[in-house]
Amino acid sequence: MNLTFLGLGSAFNPAMDNTSAFFVLKDELYLLDCGESVFGKIWNSKALKDCSRLTVVLSHLHCDHVGSLGSLISYCAAFLNKAVRIIHPLETVISYLDLLGIKRSKYTWLPNLEAASSEGVSFKPIETEHVDNMQSFGYLISDSEKTIYYSGDAKFVPTEVINAFLKGEVNEIYQDTSFNGKDNANHCSFEWLKKTFTDDCRSRIYCIHLDSDYRETIKAAGFSVPHLNSAI
C-alpha cells in the first residue's frame, strides 16, 4: 500500500491541484478525497478503467475534497458500468449527493469502514479538529504490511495517532500542513509539526495540503513530501 498523490494543494492553492491520493490493492482502486481537480486526472486513466471497483474515501465535504465526486460517480455509472463505494462515517454525504442529483442506486455508502477489512485493507476514522460547522475525519489505513495515517484537513495530529506513531504502530503520517499564518486557525501549522516531532522520526511524516510551494523548506527540516503524479 503505497500512496500516489494526484495533487498536494490546499483549497486556495490550485497551482498544486487538490490534495488527493490513490492506491491499488487486489485490482481495486482506492481514492482518498475527490476535490475539483481530481476527476480531470482520473477519468481516462488505466487505473480506473482496469479496476474491478472504485472505493472513494472522504475526509469531509469541503469542495476541495468532494468537488468532482458527483462527476466521477456519474461517469463510472454511465460509461464504465463500474461499481463505486463511498466511505464516510456520516450520512451527510448522501444528502450532498442527493443535492447534486446523483441517484443512490449509482453508489454504495459504507458508514461501517470495517466492511472493507475482508479485502485486505481497513479504514478506521479518527475525528479531527478542522472547522466548527463541519465534522472532519482522518483515517488509519492498514493492510498486511503497514498502517498509515491520512489526515484530511486537521489543525493537529490527534494524540492517539502521535502515540501509535512513536510506538511504531503507525508507519507513516500524511498531514495537512500550513505555512501561511493566516490559514493556521483551521490547518496544522508547520511550526507545530517542528515542535511536536523530533528529527529522528520526521522523515516518516509527509506534509500535504500545502498552501504554498515550500517543499524545499519542508525537506530541509527533515520532513518528507509525497511524489506528485500529474495523472494515473
Q: What CATH superfamily is the domain 4-113+120-220?
A: Ribonuclease Z/Hydroxyacylglutathione hydrolase-like (3.60.15.10)
Length of the chain measured in residues: 232
Predicted confidence at residue 232, as pLDDT, reads 60
Task: Decide if pLDDT at 183 tops 80.
Answer: no
Q: Quick one: average pLDDT of 163-190?
A: 90
pLDDT tens-digit readout, 98-114: 999 999 999 999 986 66
pLDDT tens-digit readout, 67-92: 999 999 999 999 999 999 999 999 99
DSSP 3-state of 39: helix
Q: Give the residue among 36, 103, 94, 105 at the shortest CA–CA distance from 66.
A: 36
72 backbone dihedrals φ, ψ, rounded to 5°: -65, -45
CA torsion sign, 74 to 116 to 137 to 139? negative
Measured CA distances, 178 to 105, 211, 213, 226, 228 (Å): 38, 6, 10, 15, 18
Predicted confidence at residue 228, as pLDDT, reads 82
Predicted confidence at residue 182, as pLDDT, reads 58
Predicted confidence at residue 117, as pLDDT, reads 65
